[in-house]
Amino acid sequence: MSILVVGSVAFDTVKTPFGEGREVLGGSATHFAVSASFWANVRLVAVVGEDFTDEHRRPLVDRGIDVSGLATAAGRTFRWVGEYDYDLNNPRTLDTQLNVFASFRPEIPLAWRDTPLLFLANIDPDLQRDVLEQVPRASLVAADTMNYWIASKPESLKALLARVRILLINDGEIRQLTGEPNLVRAAAVVRAWGPRTIVIKRGEHGVLVFDAETVFALPAYPLEAVLDPTGAGDAFAGGFLGYLAARGFGEVLDVRRAAVVGSVMASYQVEAFSFDRLATLTWPEIRDRYQKFIHLTRFDPLP
Amino acid sequence: MSILVVGSVAFDTVKTPFGEGREVLGGSATHFAVSASFWANVRLVAVVGEDFTDEHRRPLVDRGIDVSGLATAAGRTFRWVGEYDYDLNNPRTLDTQLNVFASFRPEIPLAWRDTPLLFLANIDPDLQRDVLEQVPRASLVAADTMNYWIASKPESLKALLARVRILLINDGEIRQLTGEPNLVRAAAVVRAWGPRTIVIKRGEHGVLVFDAETVFALPAYPLEAVLDPTGAGDAFAGGFLGYLAARGFGEVLDVRRAAVVGSVMASYQVEAFSFDRLATLTWPEIRDRYQKFIHLTRFDPLP
């Protein structure tokens, strides 16, 4: 099954206490697409500048990602500069140059308008809604967002959520969005707005999934060395939705296995800068870490 | 099997956004003992002042806790005043009056010196070591500590850890103790000092257990209403060690089920002030929440 992702492609300059990546390939759509490409056919819609060469396209093409929706506009590609402290949680943004991304108006290629699974990565909710209009027959729509849009366009975001099945969001963001510090109640508030499935990403603390009557909690994989957390959330989303696309889905989603697969992909994502680790990732490694998640979390019933 | 706990008994005045408890029964030994009393015979050693009446003793005695090691000293009982914000994480301490606790020198009753399981709740590590000398035949020794002792008596604490099998500690504290932000590496550092089992308590994010070659991660139970987190860590320890005492133990500890039981007890502890919730807790409720933890965390292997 194919997945269509609309989001950003960027050059990131990232500093962590353990190293630095200079103008490495990043962006929400990039990280999502690379991760999802292990599980499904991925169609990528984004915009880059004239400085984005075939050499930059190659690692995406090598992963089988269809980049024919990657538009080139006059100007430079989106740039982000950020820095992480030892705790590797929220980065400090040192510089953001939107460049060609500032005037991005996603145009979905005609042949892609019947893609069954649509991921609206973190962009302006007005644009996310515009994309939805262009892909009216998507049977599963998932969206991400960020604090900037929650603060600046809450009404547009709520209008979007009314038409989204799955919201992926981090814990700080859902608290901001709902004004509710308790995550169980915050998820209930958002579910009343539309999305039936709420996936709350908690970084090093794992993930919580609220879906119909089910709550699923999964810790993050305890890694001895995290090099760069950039893209972990998008790699998670890529694994989560990629798994659903690979397995097929009906009314009921296999959100538990999907969340484990997402966590597997995210755990590898953070082991290197950019998507360097995913670029060399193998199927045995994916299966091995899934098994390790089983061992990490299993316990027996009371005697 | 019996458990001996040495720690504090206090009157707590606690304010949270959801209510207030005024001079309610608290303290590390109290919360531990009440929780552990569901699973094992508990012997409590602590000190109180002349203002601690039979009426204060009654709820402990009602839970079957042996309070014959609860000494009364001239003066007032330890008092703590604290306040929690909406995030319900670390409290702000508004006032601490050590009172009789300032000159506490634990004296273990002779008949209790062969207790097989010893829990050294959070007190001065010099005193914790002194207690160890008095209970030389304990076959399982567990200890807790806090930021204050890590900062003021790190060498005494390390000397204690060399003789402890299980360390229970929160995430911020083990980072402070080791200077290592990564929890996997921090646990390895502490294990090299002595304790074979490291239980890292992460509050609303659950618990991580490092034991021999095993790592076990359990999320916290997602509660819709947390009234007062005070005593959650001690209630966890009470369930964790109470379960080990109830089941018996050899070289290998059943740390996984113990951690789930600890999390069950802690999840009830925070539903009310003081130990009001545990005072009315029933066995069917304990078994029910254990089952809910199974449902919360279960997922299937990859197809």
Domain boundaries, chain A: 2-297
Architecture of the domain defined by B2-297? 3-Layer(aba) Sandwich (3.40)
Write down the pLDDT at residue A49: 98
Exposure b/e, B3-42, CB count within 10 A at least 16 = b: bbbbbbbbbbbbbbeeeebebbbbbbbbbbbbbbbbbbbb
Write down the pLDDT at residue B249: 83
* Tens digit of each residue's pLDDT (9 = 90 or more) over B112-164: 999 999 999 999 999 999 999 999 999 999 999 999 999 999 999 999 999 99
- The three state secondary structure string of chain B is CEEEEECCCEEEEEEECCEEEEEEEECHHHHHHHHHCCCCEEEEEEEECCCCCHHHHHHHHHCCCEEEEEEECCCCCEEEEEECCCCCCCCEEEEEECHHHHHCCCCCCHHHCCCCEEEECCCCHHHHHHHHHHCCCCCEEEEECCHHHHHHCHHHHHHHHCCCCEEEEEHHHHHHHHCCCCHHHHHHHHHHHCCCEEEEECHHHCEEEEECCEEEEECCCCCCCCCCCCCHHHHHHHHHHHHHHHHCCCCCCCHHHHHHHHHHHHHHHCCCCCCHHHHCCCHHHHHHHHHHHHHHHCCCCCC
* Stretch 163-202 of chain A: residues touching chain B, C-beta under 8 Å: 181-185, 202
* Tens digit of each residue's pLDDT (9 = 90 or more) over B161-196: 999 999 999 999 999 999 999 999 999 999 999 999
Write down the pLDDT at residue B86: 80
Write down the pLDDT at residue A18: 87
Write down the pLDDT at residue B85: 87
Give this prediction's pTM.
0.95
Write down the pLDDT at residue B213: 77
Q: Give chain B positions within 8 Å (CB) of A222.
A: 183-184, 208, 215, 217
* Tens digit of each residue's pLDDT (9 = 90 or more) over A235-250: 999 999 999 999 988 8
Mean pLDDT of B222-227: 92
Mean pLDDT value across chain A = 96
Mean pLDDT of A52-78: 97
Interface test with A, best of B89, B184, B200, B205 (most A CBs within 10 A): B205
Interface test with B, best of A176, A205, A296 (most B CBs within 10 A): A205
Percentage of the residues of chain B whose pLDDT score is greater than 70? 100
* Tens digit of each residue's pLDDT (9 = 90 or more) over A64-73: 999 999 999 9
CA distances to A8, A210, A246, A257, A284 from A216, in Å: 29, 7, 21, 10, 26
* Residue A82: band (very low, low, confident or very high) from pLDDT cuts 50, 70, 90: very high
ipTM: 0.94
Percentage of the residues of chain A whose pLDDT score is greater than 70? 100
Place of tokens 């499904």: A40
* B255 close to A (CB below 8 A): no
CB-CB contact of B80 with B10 (8 Å)? yes
Q: CA-to-CA distance for B8 and B118, rounded, in angstroms?
A: 15
CB-CB contact of B233 with B144 (8 Å)? yes
Mean pLDDT of B256-261: 98
pLDDT at A213 over 80: no
* A298 close to B (CB below 8 A): yes
pLDDT at B221 over 90: yes
Q: Give chain B positions within 8 Å (CB) of A84.
A: none
